[in-house]
Structure 1
Amino acid sequence: MKKGKATVLVCVTGQRDCDRLIRAGKKISDSRFIPLQVLCVQPTSSGFDADCEELEYLRQTAKNADAEMSVYFHDDAPLMAVGYAKSVHATHIVTGMAEAPVNGFVEIIHKLLPKIPISMVAKDGTVYNICPVAKNDRKAKKLILQN
């Protein structure tokens, strides 16, 4: 990936309560002094049925956080998010917590972008992190397993 201006990427659905993700992403971007981007991927089947009021609320929340929000219609949300993350040079990704049934969104992003930390924000605001394993950590784990 070409070096560009690093960003924090927040992935939202079209639900109003995703505003907590934008707020969490803003804290991370402010602490790192890098811009915030917000992405919403809607299934193509939603088309004109997408909840415009909810999307507008999230867009305004993003704007209040000095972030740009992009909305795409695509049926493979994780793949779209990975491509977008690469295009905006994301160095950290913020998502919601998967509920049952788990759709694999976070797992796919982590598999395709294993070096980018992911913060998952639960409904109660608790943040859970997936951190990349450093090369030195992998070597240490191998040595421990061999002994």
Structure 2
Amino acid sequence: MFTAGHLAANPLPPGIVGALGLGGYQLLADIAGVGAGRLGSQAFLLVAADPDPALPDAGTQISLHQTRLRDESEAAAYVQLAAQLGYLRLSGYRLAPDRHGLRSRINLVNPATGAIAATIPDRAGGRLLRGGPGASQLLVTAGALPPAG
């Protein structure tokens, strides 16, 4: 289904890139159609939607967009989260994007129950007033999910 280098071969569509002001980005990781991208101080997850012949191609989705990284450890957390999500996809979990403006929330669907096991928000939580979870917290959540099936 997803081969090595999937996101490199299927880059972001020009409309999404232009809307976020990204002229070119670094692809830091690409595992089973889930990647971590970066441009300067910005970091984000890239997720290729699961193919469904009944639906039009959803393309590559941007999720967990963070406009300003504090340090390199935050960028490393994005790579680790992309690897964990890719592993979960390969083990049977389904990644279901839910378009939310220019970005997408990603729902991790447990194949045994069909229930949403976790949700990756469309953008990273702000630091003021302790916003939503960041990549590090989501990595802990994704790592604690039970095996698929």
The two structures have a TM-score, normalised by structure 2, of 0.27
> Which one has a bigger Cα radius of gyration?
1
Which has the larger helix fraction? 1
Which has the larger strand fraction? 2
The two structures have a TM-score, normalised by structure 1, of 0.27
Structure with greater contact order relative to length (CA < 8 Å, sep ≥ 6): 1
